[in-house]
Amino acid sequence: MFNGCDGMAEVTTTAGQTALRHAARLSVAPMMDWTDRHCRVFHRQISQKALLYTEMVTAPAVIHGDRDRLLGFDAGEHPVALQLGGSDPADLARATRIAAEYGYDEINLNVGCPSDRVQSGCFGAVLMERPALVADCVAAMIAGSPVEVTVKCRIGVDDQVPEEVLPAFLQTVSAAGVRRFAIHARKAWLQGLSPKENRDVPPLDYPLVHRMKAAFPDLHISVNGGIARLDQAVAFLESGLDGVMIGRAAYHEPYEVLGRADAVIFGGPEGPDRFEVIDRMRPYIAAHLAAGGRLHQITRHMLGLFHGQPGARGWRRILSERANAPGAGLEVIDAALAPVRAEAA
């Protein structure tokens, strides 16, 4: 048995952190090119409660880039967490401070992403090999801002032995003050697999995540990887884990995953139906178009809304064919809804 709690920093839990721990019972994973602000606003119409993560933004980009474009978000997105990538404690501390001013509820450090681009900058999953550096990073982030700092990690990389390295990682990083982790329950292979293969090929080890919760009962631990349905999420929560993070399924089948989450996971009222979700999106879309944006920038995230429903194919096809045309407006959404309504009639 791991002696998980030795050496943990004394940290008091604030009301905000308690609320986030609750929201993190179900979260939508950070996904580059997918969980942009439009996607998050859409997901927020389906679930009022789930915690939403941004795409990863690197610390140098936050420091030197177009901050409003990289960090701006809609006030309706809360609770929302920014994911940062990086491995320089000073840069990460600075990026965290800047992001905190934008009003994020949480800043998450990426220790799970295996892409070449990320490896070359020495961050992402390769940091599983350097827990002391991760501890330095999160300590600097925590010192620099009142916003809660969390970590998303893998169970190991390459030939590491997860049973050994994961508890050591959690111990070292929690001793620096992190109380909440999302664990993608598979290794990343840094050589030989594409980022996409790294999300499917290395086997999932959920029992190891359960053992981490048993070894570190005071940590809030979310499991991630391969979870496709809400009832699976419920089963993980009932089995003692604190949270479930869902990525691809939430993106491709948003209503199946998030549609009943507020009632089933958070004990609140039932959420809106699919048509109400669209109605809730209309003012946001209209404002985006009025500001010169394209319809497609928003609707590309909405293609899966009717997944599995009669008329879903027509919805997808019309949005895919017409939403990217210059001047495309809300009438395209009405046209795309027609096949769904026809099937429902």
Say whether residue 243 binds ligand FMN (CB under 6 A): no
Contact 268, 277 (CB under 8 A): no
- In the complex, what is the shortest distance from the CB of residue 72 to ligand FMN, in angstroms, rounded to a whole number? 18
Say whether residue 246 binds ligand FMN (CB under 6 A): yes
Quick one: 130 exposed, middle or buried, by C-beta within 10 A (0-12, 13-18, 19+)? middle
Contact 20, 53 (CB under 8 A): no
Among 17, 47, 58, 110, binds ligand FMN (CB under 6 A): 110
Among 20, 92, 113, 137, binds ligand FMN (CB under 6 A): 113
Residue span binding ligand FMN (CB under 6 A) among the ranges 247-255, 261-269, 271-279, 323-331: 247-255
Q: Is 41 strand, coil or helix?
A: helix
Q: Is 299 strand, coil or helix?
A: helix
Question: Site residues for ligand FMN, window 277-336 (CB under 6 A)?
Answer: none
CA distance 37 to 182: 21
Contact 302, 258 (CB under 8 A): no
Choose between 154 and 339: whose C-beta lies nearer to ligand FMN: 154
> Is residue 128 annotated as involved in ligand binding?
no
Residue span binding ligand FMN (CB under 6 A) among the ranges 29-37, 126-134, 255-263, 299-307: 29-37
Among 86, 89, 162, 226, binds ligand FMN (CB under 6 A): 226
- x/- map, 69-108, ligand FMN, by CB under 6 A: --------------x-------------------------
User: Distances from the Cα of 18 to the Cαs of 21, 51, 180, 212, 234, in angstroms?
Assistant: 5, 13, 11, 21, 20
Among 225, 243, 304, 314, binds ligand FMN (CB under 6 A): 225
Angle at 90 between CA 88 and CA 92, to 5 degrees: 65
Q: Which residues contact 327 (CB under 8 A, 6 or more apart)?
A: none
Q: Is 121 strand, coil or helix?
A: coil
Assess whether 39 carries a catalytic annotation: no
Q: Of residues 39, 113, 137, 153, which has the active-site annotation?
A: 113
CA distance 17 to 22: 9
- In the complex, what is the shortest distance from the CB of residue 77 to ligand FMN, in angstroms, rounded to a whole number? 17
Say whether residue 160 binds ligand FMN (CB under 6 A): no
Say whether residue 29 binds ligand FMN (CB under 6 A): yes
Choose between 89 and 225: whose C-beta lies nearer to ligand FMN: 225
CA distance 249 to 229: 8
CA distance 71 to 100: 10
Q: Which residues are annotated as a binding site?
A: 30-32, 83, 152, 184, 224-226, 247-248
Q: Enumerate binding residues for ligand FMN (CB under 6 A).
A: 29-34, 55-56, 83, 110, 112-113, 152, 184, 199, 224-227, 246-249
- Which positions are annotated as active-site residues? 113
